[in-house]
Amino acid sequence: MTMDGNPFRQALRLCVLALLVAVMSLVAVDSSFALLPEERARLDLSVYRVKDRAAGYFDVKARRAALLQTRDHLLRRLMADIRKFDACPAARGLTVIAGDKMTPRFYDDRDGWRLAASPYHTFEDAMSRLAARQLVAPESGAGDCLLDVLVRWAQARAFLSFAVERSRLQTWFQIESSLFAAAFAYSIVRDDVPGRDEDKAEIERWLVAAAKNHLRPPGDVAGSCCNNHFYRRALYSAMIGVLTGDDYLFRLGVSAVYSAIADSAVNGALPLEMKRQQYAARYQVYATMALVFIAEVAARQGYDLYSISGGDRSLSTVVDFSVAAMLNPEAAAEPAKWPGQDDTFLEDRQFYGWLELVGRKRRWQDAANALLASERPSYNRALGGFVTLYFLPLGR
């Protein structure tokens, strides 16, 4: 008998679904398994709704005002660098990505992957840089430039030619990052640039269409339906849901945190990431990044996803394990059943930005600051870009 055919396991799933209906109260999860797509669809998340379409993932006006007053040398140097670099000419010249070309799998052909992924990364960097420049130098026209680029991509139906049957999984994965890079950058710029209502409406229609097209494949039930890739899809879904007032997309984003709590072990390890064997620590952290940003997007709408409890599991216990895995990747060796964890991800600054978010909480403050000490200013081209600029506490 297969796992899914096990009556006891089915009963457990039904119990979990019944208990998860109490969205903002304690949620008891008695076993570790991710919620499958059809189970997530049955969750009653109606309490979650978009309350403020203007609330991006940070308060742009408040942050700009604070940055203008800061004496923090790191932030002042970073802002000076951002002001000097005009990303607009290169961004305007980018070739629109249709999404119909196949991308080689990362672990099968790394050179081929780097070549094929480069246009996605270039687009993400452009979005991140233009949004940051609009924040620190609104007189530069970076926001208008970003809107111009996104309108052109919307009119050219970027990413909408994607079909997983033709473009294959690695292209699906690449588009994840590009969609939330675009959505996060747009959330910084939209209400900071006056007027242009027709352009903004066109961009938002495109973001929703691209998101729903990309969300159409359910993914593999052994992994991509429910692991880090689902969390990354959920992240752009939450952000685009907020920007457009689409409660369905916002709730889909929130559902990823429920799924992660259901999947997690008591120690916070995510079993679907532990399946990556020697890369378990890497993928645990990779998964947690997206979950932390989903929580931030939800917090801006008034929802504390850290308060959701799965008995002895929560988003906090997942973060606990991920922070431990960054301090020492061998923390994942036992649950992954693979000693000698790959630690090369610690050399990639893209793995550090999320710590700026959790480092604001006392529970992880010391560990996050220790890990970030030599990595600031942190940057992740897809996860918000210049995260230190947006979230580093002032007056530290």
Q: What is the pLDDT of residue 396?
A: 60
- Tokens (6 digits) for 45: 């998340």
Q: What is the pLDDT of residue 24?
A: 27
pLDDT of residue 5 exceeding 70, the answer is no
pLDDT of residue 336 exceeding 90, the answer is yes
pLDDT of residue 28 exceeding 50, the answer is no
3-state secondary structure the chain: CCCCCCHHHHHHHHHHHHHHCCCCCEECCCCCCCCCHHHHHHCCCCCCCCCCCCCCCCCHHHHHHHHHHCCCHHHHHHHHHHHHCCCHHHHHCCCCCCCCCCCCCCCCCHHHHHHHHHHHHHHHHHHHHHHHHHHHCHHHCHHHHHHHHHHHHHHCCCCCCCCHHHHHHHHHHHHHHHHHHHHHHHHHHHHHCCCCHHHHHHHHHHHHHHHHHHHCCCCCCCCCCCCHHHHHHHHHHHHHHHHHCCHHHHHHHHHHHHHHHHHCCCCCCCHHHHCCHHHHHHHHHHHHHHHHHHHHHHHCCCCCHHHCEECCCEHHHHHHHHHHHHHCHHHHHHHHCCCCCCCHHHHCHHHCCCHHHHCCCHHHHHHHHHHHCCCCCCCECCCCECHHHHHCCCCC
Is residue 1 one of the residues assigned to a domain?
Answer: no
Q: What is the pLDDT of residue 384?
A: 86
Is residue 396 one of the residues assigned to a domain?
Answer: no
Is residue 169 one of the residues assigned to a domain?
Answer: yes
Q: What is the pLDDT of residue 310?
A: 83
pLDDT band of residue 311 (cuts 50, 70, 90) is confident
pLDDT of residue 23 exceeding 70, the answer is no
Residue 310 vs residue 216, higher pLDDT? 216
| Mean pLDDT score, 64-89 | 96
Residue 182 vs residue 15, higher pLDDT? 182
How far apart CA 341 and CA 332 sit, in angstroms, is 7
Percent of the chain with pLDDT over 90: 86
How far apart CA 289 and CA 197 sit, in angstroms, is 33
Is residue 354 one of the residues assigned to a domain?
Answer: yes
Q: Work out the mean pLDDT of the chain and round it to a whole number.
A: 91
On whether the CB atoms of residues 260 and 270 are closer than 8 A, the answer is: yes
Split into its structural domains, the chain has a count of 1
Is residue 367 one of the residues assigned to a domain?
Answer: yes
pLDDT of residue 361 exceeding 60, the answer is yes
- Torsional class of 305: left (φ above 0), alpha (ψ -120 to 50), beta (otherwise): alpha
Q: What is the pLDDT of residue 160?
A: 97
Per residue in 89-141, pLDDT tens? Answer: 999 999 999 999 999 998 899 999 999 999 999 999 999 999 999 999 999 99
Is residue 323 one of the residues assigned to a domain?
Answer: yes
The residue written with tokens 């026209």 in the block is 141
Q: What is the pLDDT of residue 85?
A: 93
Domain that holds residue 344: 33-391
- Tokens (6 digits) for 270: 């995510």
- Counting Cα atoms < 13 Å in the Cβ hemisphere of 298 gives 29
CATH number of domain containing 280: 1.50.10.100
Q: What is the pLDDT of residue 221?
A: 83
Is residue 72 one of the residues assigned to a domain?
Answer: yes
Q: What is the pLDDT of residue 19?
A: 36
Per residue in 236-289, pLDDT tens? Answer: 999 999 999 999 999 999 999 999 999 999 999 999 999 999 999 999 999 999
Per residue in 179-191, pLDDT tens? Answer: 999 999 999 999 9
